[in-house]
Amino acid sequence: MIPRTRPAWQTGGWQQQLAEALGDPEELIRRLALDPGLLPAARAAATAFGLKVPEAYLGRIRPGDPHDPLLRQVLPLGAELEPAAGYVADPLGENKAMPVPGLLHKYRGRALLVVTGACPIHCRYCFRRHFPYAEANPSRQEWSTAIHWLGMNPEVHEVLLSGGDPLSLPDPKLAMLARRLAAIPHLRRLRIHTRMPVVVPDRVTAELIAWFTGTRLQPIMVLHCNHPRELDAGVSAALGRLREAGVTLLNQAVLLRGVNDATDTLAELSEALFAAGVLPYYLHLLDPVAGAAHFEVPVDRARQLHTGIRDRLPGYLVPRLVVERPDAPAKLPL
């Protein structure tokens, strides 16, 4: 590999890729040779939650196939605009679980910092698609409030960086946050929840690895990958760099109709993750967020799929099938 003379965040590598992400439904349909009849609905649905897909992900979508499992995760559909019983704006009651702005404390021993509302990609099923980022989004001032709260709560041993996607922020800013967290004596682990290495693998820069593994906190990364075809050679190489540096890699997937609701697909996903050095952690039932009802896999079917992979994979490749309930003390196993 040719060493970079300047870090990627200065030359604009990954940031440029994010800035240039495709956002126009017409262009998406043209680039992927899809039926132009999809356009009016895509436009309408994209006004509520915009289309966003970077080139690095777009390149993995099969042209001409409206049922491509990667396309389905990003293509706005008219179905999003149809109201569905039980599907609401804040399905997890997160707006109530914030002791200070941008900090969610729902589970014992762990606290989650919402460090940004920005994402590299807009996943149509996202449970935070209506999240009030404007209110929750911590300015530097509010990080200080959250960090102060963490310092005052010695039972918290692990901080999760979430969002949005925390790796949307530049490395110097995240490095500063990591240093401030490492200075809180009762914290042991720093966990990043991110889809970024799967979407824009160039985001896994030497700078990222340096700050993430450079404090006394044990680094854990929970990726978000839903389909084996999301893991291409570039993603595997990025994950390899993280693993070599000592980052524990886990994956959470969401069970999605038309994307990964087949035993074969889920088994292949686990195999592909492990080949890339990642252990499957959670398989989430869809959160009932307004606009995502068409992705629902019924509970009975979910159990059946989970049994299907349990019957054919080693135990360590079987993710826990869980559902999140607003007032539960943990993610609930099904």
Annotated binding site for [4Fe-4S] cluster: 119, 123, 126
The entry of ligand SF4, ligand PLP, none that residue 121 binds, CB within 5 to 8 Å by partner kind: ligand SF4
Other C-beta atoms closer than 10 Å to the C-beta of 59 total 10
* 321 forms part of the interface with ligand PLP (CB under 6 A): no
Provide CB contacts within 8 A for 298, sequence distance 6+: none
At 281 the three-state DSSP class reads strand
The smaller minimum CB distance to ligand PLP, of residues 24 and 142, is found at: 142
Closest approach, Cβ 300 to ligand SF4, in A, equals 25
Interface residues with ligand SF4 (CB under 6 A) are 119, 121-123, 126, 128, 163-165, 195, 224
* 160 forms part of the interface with ligand PLP (CB under 6 A): yes
The entry of ligand SF4, ligand PLP, none that residue 259 binds, CB within 5 to 8 Å by partner kind: none
Instruction: Answer whether 284's CB lies under 8 Å from 252's CB.
Output: yes
* 110 forms part of the interface with ligand PLP (CB under 6 A): yes
The smaller minimum CB distance to ligand PLP, of residues 29 and 147, is found at: 147
Other C-beta atoms closer than 10 Å to the C-beta of 274 total 16
Instruction: Please report, to the nearest 10 degrees, the dihedral formed by the alpha carbons of residues 65, 71, 76, 81 taken in order.
Output: 90
Residue 47 and residue 91: Cα distance in Å, rounded? 21
Considering only CA atoms, which of 100, 109, 186 is closest in space to residue 143?
Answer: 100
Closest approach, Cβ 130 to ligand PLP, in A, equals 16
Considering only CA atoms, which of 182, 166, 186 is closest in space to residue 174?
Answer: 166
Which region, judged by CB under 6 A, interacts with ligand PLP, from 78-86, 106-114, 165-173, 199-207? 106-114
* 104 forms part of the interface with ligand PLP (CB under 6 A): yes
Closest approach, Cβ 223 to ligand PLP, in A, equals 13
Instruction: Answer whether 68's CB lies under 8 Å from 79's CB.
Output: no
The smaller minimum CB distance to ligand SF4, of residues 73 and 205, is found at: 73
Instruction: Answer whether 235's CB lies under 8 Å from 261's CB.
Output: no
Closest approach, Cβ 281 to ligand PLP, in A, equals 7
* 106 forms part of the interface with ligand PLP (CB under 6 A): yes
The entry of ligand SF4, ligand PLP, none that residue 126 binds, CB within 5 to 8 Å by partner kind: ligand SF4
Q: Which of 9, 87, 107, 274 binds ligand PLP (CB under 6 A)?
A: 107
Residue 244 and residue 74: Cα distance in Å, rounded? 31
Other C-beta atoms closer than 10 Å to the C-beta of 142 total 17
Partners of 160 in the beta sheet?
Answer: 112, 191
The smaller minimum CB distance to ligand SF4, of residues 171 and 287, is found at: 287
Residues forming the site for ligand PLP (CB under 6 A) = 104, 106-107, 110, 112, 160, 330-331
